[in-house]
Amino acid sequence: MQVGRSVLLGLVVIIAFFMATNAALWLFVPERAAKALEMPLLTGSALSSQMDIGALFLGAATSTVLALITRERPWFIAAAVLILGAAAYRTNAFMFHDAAFLGHFVAIEVVIGTILLTASRVLGRESSG
């Protein structure tokens, strides 16, 4: 069982790194970040709103790192909610707003969210507050 916990821990570390990298890309190289998400980089006030995506990645990275440091379940769950929420909103955009369905992104988000929820049960403990 220890090997499984170690693998799960490693996956969560990779997720934290991935989220932090994306947050940094939105902050420093938004053109590259937008391209990676298959979207054009907007301009003017639309770019200001588009940059909010970086905040989502920053929140997910921060929650995941706090989960790794404290091992408190709510931090794993907070990160999972952000990522699974992105999958839900993507799917909603496809179903109700004529957006292209980016199934590969939805799949990645669902897998990441599932890993984080699993980690909350296996690696996490109840918060001390």
Q: What's the predicted TM-score (pTM) here?
A: 0.92
Nearest CA to 37 among 114, 104, 110, 111?
A: 104
Is 109 a residue whose pLDDT tops 70? yes
Reported as a single tens digit per residue, the pLDDT across 8-28 is 999 999 999 999 999 999 999
pLDDT bin (cut points 50, 70, 90) of residue 125 is: confident
Is 127 a residue whose pLDDT tops 90? no
| SS3 at position 72 | strand
CB 112 within 8 A of CB 15: yes
| Distance of alpha carbon 25 from alpha carbon 9, whole angstroms | 24
Half-sphere exposure of 29 toward its Cβ, with a 13 Å CA cutoff?
9
CB 37 within 8 A of CB 105: yes
Q: Where are the domains of the chain?
A: 2-122
Mean pLDDT, the chain, rounded, equals 96
Nearest CA to 54 among 78, 86, 81, 77?
A: 86
Is 1 a residue whose pLDDT tops 80? no
Cα→Cα distances 128→66, 69, 70, 124, 125, Å: 14, 13, 10, 12, 9
Cβ-count burial of 109 within 10 angstroms (0-12 exposed, 13-18 middle, 19+ buried)?
Answer: buried
Reported as a single tens digit per residue, the pLDDT across 38-97 is 999 999 999 999 999 999 999 999 999 999 999 999 999 999 999 999 999 999 999 999
